[in-house]
Amino acid sequence: MAKKPDRAPPPYRTAVLVLGMQRSGTSALARIVNFLGAAMPRHLVPANEWNPRGYWESAPLAALHDEILAEMDSSWDDWRAPPARWKDSETANRFAGKIRMTIDEEFANAHLIVLKDPRMCRTLPYWMSILEKSGIRSAPLLIIRNPLEVAESLRERDGIPFEKAMLLWLRHYLDAEYETRHLPRNIVTLDALLEDWKLLAVQSGARMGVQWPRQPNDAASDVREFLDIELHNHRATLAELDAHTEVPHWVKSAYRALTLLCDEPKAAEPKRELDRMRAAFAESSRLFGVVAFAQTEALKKAEKDVAEANARGAKADGLKAD
C-alpha cells in the first residue's frame, strides 16, 4: 500500500508588531496597518481625552501585560531592564498559556493581525517566542518620535519628569531595535508617517515581507479621515534636540542612529553605536536603577495614602453633616 504523503504544515500567520515608546504615534500607525487589511483585536482599550482617536490595542492583552510587569516588580514606566532569564522563569511559563489563549480569542484565525502595545518593547523576546509557538510570524514595525516631543506629552498626561521620560524613551527604543534585528522589519518616524504614509506603507510591506490585503490607494480615504496632523501637538526639531542641554548624550545619539536606520536599514555603524549605548545604559541601570525605582514606588504609595486619607476625611465630613 502506498504511503500517504505527510500533511503539509499550516501556513504561518503574521503579526505586525507596532513598537515604540508611549506617545510616539504607535496608535496612529496601528490604525493605518488595520486600514491596510490587518485584523484588529476584538476588545479594544477605549479612547479617552489623551487619545481621542483610539489606542487600537487589546484591552485583555494590555491587562495581562500589566500583571506580568507587576510580577517582575515593575510597571510600564520602569526604565530598568527586565530581570535576566525572566523569559524562562516559572512565572513567564504560567502567563504564556493565558497570552496564547487571549490572542486566539482576540484575533480568531485571522491570517494577518496588528499587535500594538508599547509595553512589548520591555519584554519583546518573550512575546515573540509565544507568537512563534502559536504559529505566528513577527513582523516588527518601529515608530520613532523626537524625545523632546515624547517628554512633553508624558509630562502633560502623566506628570512624568523630563529626566525620567528620557530614560523611558531610551529603554524602549534600545531594546526594541536590538531584539528585532534578526527579523525582516521597518523603522519609521512619526514625522515621515504624517508626511507620506502611503510611501511608508509600501516600503514597510516590502521590508517586512508583508503583502497588504488592501492597497494604500484603496485605503486612502479612510486614512485621510482618520489622520489629523493637529494631533501631532508637541513639536520639536532635530536642531532643538541637539541644542537642548538637559537631554542626555545617549538619547541624542540614539535618536540619530535610529533615524539613520530608517533610510539605511542594513547600515552597520548605527547599530554599533546603539550597542555601545545599550551596554553603557545596562551598566548604569544596574548601579542606580534599584534605588531610583524604590524611591518612585515610595512616592506613588505616599500619593495613594494621601488620596485615601482625603477620601476618608470627605466621607467623615459627609456623615457629620448628615
Give pLDDT, residue 7. Answer: 46
H or E segment to which residue 113 belongs? strand 112-116
Give pLDDT, residue 8. Answer: 43
For residue 51, the 8-state DSSP code is B
Neighbouring C-alpha atoms within 13 Å toward the C-beta of 57: 21
Q: Residue 76 in contact with residue 66, Cβ under 8 Å?
A: yes
**Other Cβ atoms closer than 10 A to 67:** 13
Given the C-alpha cell 491587562, which residue does it identify? Answer: 63
Return mean pLDDT, the chain.
88
Q: Find, among 206, 232, 258, the residue nearest to 27 by Cα.
A: 232
Q: Give the residue, 49 or 34, on which the prediction is more confident.
A: 34
Structure confidence by residue, pLDDT tens digits, 48-58: 988 888 999 99
pTM for this structure? 0.85
H or E segment to which residue 143 belongs? strand 136-144
- Mean pLDDT of the 132-154 span: 96
Residue 124: pLDDT over 50: yes
Give pLDDT, residue 103. Answer: 96
**Other Cβ atoms closer than 10 A to 293:** 18
Q: Residue 68 in contact with residue 162, Cβ under 8 Å?
A: no
Structure confidence by residue, pLDDT tens digits, 208-218: 999 999 999 99
Residue 120: pLDDT over 70: yes
* Residue 24 three-state SS: coil
Per DSSP (E only), the strands in the chain are 13-19, 112-116, 136-144, 186-189
| Strand 186-189, strand 136-144: pairing | parallel
Q: Rounded to 5 degrees, what angle do the CA atoms 167, 95, 181 make? A: 50
Q: Find, among 112, 103, 141, the residue nearest to 25 by Cα.
A: 141
Q: Which stretches of 90-146 are DSSP H helices? A: 90-107, 124-133
Residue 277: pLDDT over 50: yes
Q: Residue 55 in contact with residue 44, Cβ under 8 Å?
A: yes
Q: Give the residue, 312 or 206, on which the prediction is more confident.
A: 206
Alpha-carbon distance of 47 to 55, in angstroms, equals 6
